[in-house]
Amino acid sequence: MLVTQRYPSAAGAHTRWAGLRRKLWLLPLLASLVFVGGVLAWAYRADRAEREDRRATMITDALSSEAQLQGLLTVERARLQDLARQLPRRAHNTAGLLASTEVTEGLRRLWLSVTWLDANNRILAHVPEQNTLAGVLPGELIDGPGLSAHLTQPVGAERLVVRYSPTLLLRRGIPWWLAHKYDMQLIDSNEQVIASLDQTPLRTDSPGRESYMVSVGGNMPGAFLELGLREAPPPFWRTLPLVLMAGFLGLMLVATLLLRRQVVRISRAESAWRTEAAWRQAMEDSALVGLRARDAEGRILYVNRTFCTMVGLSAEQLVGLEPPMPYWPPDELDEVLLRHKRNLEGKAPRDGYEALWCHQDGRRLNVMVFESPLIDAHGRQTGWMGSIIDITARKQLEARERHQAEAMAQQSRLTTLGEVASALAHQLNQPLTVIMGYNAGLQRMLADAGYDNQAVLHALAQQGDQAAEAGRIVRRIREFLTRRAPQREACDLGAIARRAAALLQRDLQTADVQLHWALAAGLPPVFADPILLEQVLINLLRNAVDAITGVAVADRPAGAAAGRIRITAQPGGERFVRLDVEDNGPGLSGRTVDNLSAPFYSTKSDGMGMGLAICRSVIEVHHGGMDAGSSSLGGARFSFTLPVFDAQMHEASLADEDARANQEAQG
Ligand code: ADP
């Protein structure tokens, strides 16, 4: 997985969002507070509306109660007036008063006493007298609570004064349901309680108590009826819904605290997890081992950065891919699919297996893959986790070492061969010298004897020449193999080539090969050992003949009945002469001069594979270069260049040879 770089502003926004998220636990509490605030506002408004309703009802009740009391007093006044009308006919004493039924009924109802005053305010009669009260009036009337009030009614010049109990007035005048609901009091203008429905009169102006006062007026001037709600309704904040709300808020507070604790724990765990994930990512990205997770079907679930680098594809391109994978070599798809199937079946070798993968740029890489089961959080295997090591460099090193070992082995074989050839040349030198001696002796003896058969003499002379030539060849090769410097001199490359071709004349004829010459006129002489150079040319020509004869006649292109070899000599640069040997054989099939001139490389059943190796080293010893390629004749082309002879070079070479000879003599 690739690490994405965050821009500063995005990082800032992310940090802010993370900070906000850490405060999210407050949200339920805030929502609850808003909700409770709403309920409070609603309760407050409902309470106020209810209070206003109650007050309106109280006013109505006060006015109706006042009207009731007024009505009652009006009735009492009418009764008093009736009594006043009867009195002139009665005796002006207590008996006269008591004789009236109005008096006794009045006393039974409401009146506390009736006093008859003359014009000078002297009491003519007063009811009830102390002794007459018992049995006439109920006890409660005598000891009624509160003050008393009175009604006055003129009777001519005299007056009747009726003292009555305002308390009884209240009890009789106020209906029970109102008395049940309100504290009712009659008070005077000094706020003195005149009467109260309750035994202990209450002042209704205690704080929080709702009360209303209405003037009684008329029959009770200066008196007020005051109503106070008996049961003051609890303040709205003490009502059940709000108590429940308070409880709810308490619970929310506890829940919020628990939530906060949980959020803190989770955010701690999250930050620990993030740190761990960052560590793991850093470790995976810095690892040299490629990691690849696959599900049970082989679909890629995850790759690390090293894996992406190995195959040259990004994680986005790889994740989700199903077989065949783009990094599998297309030419080995069948084999890789078989291996893939084996791996998914859990049969991958425990100590890993080697595979060949393809980088996106076409480069091949050798990898070592170790598969292990991919286990999920529940302990179930969901796929395979592969660890991949790129072993391309190691493989190349191994190949190089192997190659070096082979080269060393070849080198040692070459050395042995050189030694054998050197010994052989030494051994051959002697018989060749003997042959030459016998040949010279024979020629001399025949000459002395006057023998004149020219054919025999010519054959003998040829035999002597060939034996001498063989001796020279053997000596030069021996010198070359024993690392003696070649004996260089100015030589005509064209002439050497023609000599080599003449030596192979019979082979060329047998193989039906035509030789074409393309020797540039006026070529400068080259500076080389003519005998070694002749061997090089013989070798090249023989290889060309072998190549041509190797192709079956039927396979030859139409019209090309015979093999063709072309020898071209021309200036090769400013100070070099170049010679090409071309043929119309099968060609080199892409092989280079390096491949072909490797010691012991041969495609022939009887070939030793040393010819081109020796040719190349001979040319290089002469400070020249060798090359091979395809020819316009359709087959192979072998070319070499040699330096042009100059006198200075020759002198320097002679000086070198002298110095070496001296060294050897001293050694
Ligand atoms: P040898 O002749 O013993 O095989 P050489 O070193 O001379 O060893 O040649 C090495 C190989 O180079 C030959 O076996 C042959 O495959 C290849 N070769 C040489 N000359 C030619 C040519 N003219 N055309 C095609 N192949 C050639």
Q: What is the CATH number of the domain that holds 414?
A: 1.10.287.130
Q: What is the 3-state secondary structure (H, E, C) of 558-622?
A: CCCCCEEEEEEEEECCCCEEEEEEEECCCCCCCCCHHHHCCCCCCCCCCCCCCHHHHHHHHHHHC
Count of positions (residues) in the chain: 667
Q: How far is the CA of 308 from the centre of ligand 1 (A)?
A: 46
Tell whether 465 and 577 lie within a shared domain.
no
Q: Which of 426, 449, 484 is the endpoint of a domain?
A: 484
Per-residue pLDDT at 495: 94
If asked whether residues 190 and 316 sit together in one domain, one would say: no
pLDDT value at residue 642 = 95
Beta bridge partners of 488: none
Name the strand (E) or helix (H) holding 510.
Answer: helix 505-510
Weakly modelled stretches of the chain, pLDDT under 50: 1-8, 131-145, 204, 553-554, 561
Rounded CA-CA distance 73/66 in Å is 10
Residues 222 and 351 placed together within one structural domain of the fold: no
Substitution candidate for ligand 1 out of 410, 602, 615 with most atoms within 8 A of CB: 602
pLDDT for position 101: 86
Q: Of 231, 177, 241, 246, give the one whose Cα is nearest residue 47.
A: 241
Please name the residues in contact with 505: beta carbons below 8 A apart, sequence gap of 6 or more.
none
Please tell me the predicted confidence (pLDDT) of residue 231: 75
The confidence score (pLDDT) of residue 5 equals 40
Cα–Cα distance for residue pair 435/474, rounded to 1 Å: 14
Residue 141 lies in a domain: yes
By residue range, what is the domain housing residue 381?
Answer: 287-390
* 151 lies in some domain: yes
**pLDDT score of 9:** 54
Phi, psi of 130 (to 5 degrees): -55, -45
Atom 7 (ligand 1): residue with closest C-alpha? 611
Q: Is 4 a member of any domain? A: no
Q: Which of 192, 213, 229 is the last residue in one of the domains?
A: 229
Taking the C-alpha atoms of residue 233 and residue 33, their distance in angstroms, rounded to an integer, is: 26
Closest protein CA for atom 20 of ligand 1: 543
Residues 494 and 460 in one domain: no
For position 513, what pLDDT does the model report? 92
Collapsing DSSP to helix, strand or coil, 162 comes out as strand
Last residue of a domain, one of 390, 409, 437: 390
d(CA 444, CA 436): 12
**Whether 81 and 221 share a structural domain:** yes
**Per-residue model confidence (pLDDT) at position 200:** 61
* 601/612 Cα distance (integer angstroms): 9
The CATH number of whichever domain residue 502 belongs to comes to: 3.30.565.10
State whether 523 and 574 are in the same domain. yes
- Whether residue 73 sits in one domain with residue 205: yes
Structure tokens at 133: 């009260």
**460 and 513, same domain (yes or no):** no
- Predicted local confidence at residue 280, as pLDDT: 84
- Please tell me the total count of domains within the chain: 4
The answer to the question of residue 194 being in a domain is yes
**Residue 488's pLDDT is what?**
86
Quote helix, strand, coil % in the chain, to nearest 5: 50, 20, 25
Let me know if residue 245 belongs to a domain. no
With a Cβ cut-off of 6 Å, ligand 1 is lined by 543-544, 547, 583, 585-586, 588, 596, 601-604, 607-609, 611-613, 635-636
Contact 642, 526 (CB under 8 A): yes
39, part of any domain:
no
At residue 581, the pLDDT reads 97
Same domain? 478 vs 494: no
Half-sphere exposure of 22 (CA within 13 A, CB side): 12
Residue 152 CA to residue 76 CA, distance in Å, equals 11
Domain annotation covers residue 312 = yes
CA distances from 490 to 524, 638, 639, 648, 656 (A): 9, 23, 20, 12, 17
Residue listed under structure tokens 């929310």: 252
pLDDT at 518: 95
User: If you measure from the C-alpha of residue 602 to the centroid of ligand 1, how many angstroms do you get, rounded to a whole number?
Assistant: 6
**Ligand 1 center to 243 CA (angstroms):** 112
SS3 627: strand
Regarding whether 469 and 321 lie in a shared domain, the answer is no
Q: Are residues 479 and 588 in the same domain?
A: no
223: left (phi over 0), alpha (psi -120 to 50) or beta: beta
Residue 243 lies in a domain: no
Pair 291, 436 in one domain: no
Q: CA-CA distance, 100 to 102, in Å (whole number)?
A: 5
Going from the Cα of 507 to the center of ligand 1, the distance in angstroms, rounded, reads 16
CATH code assigned at 301: 3.30.450.20
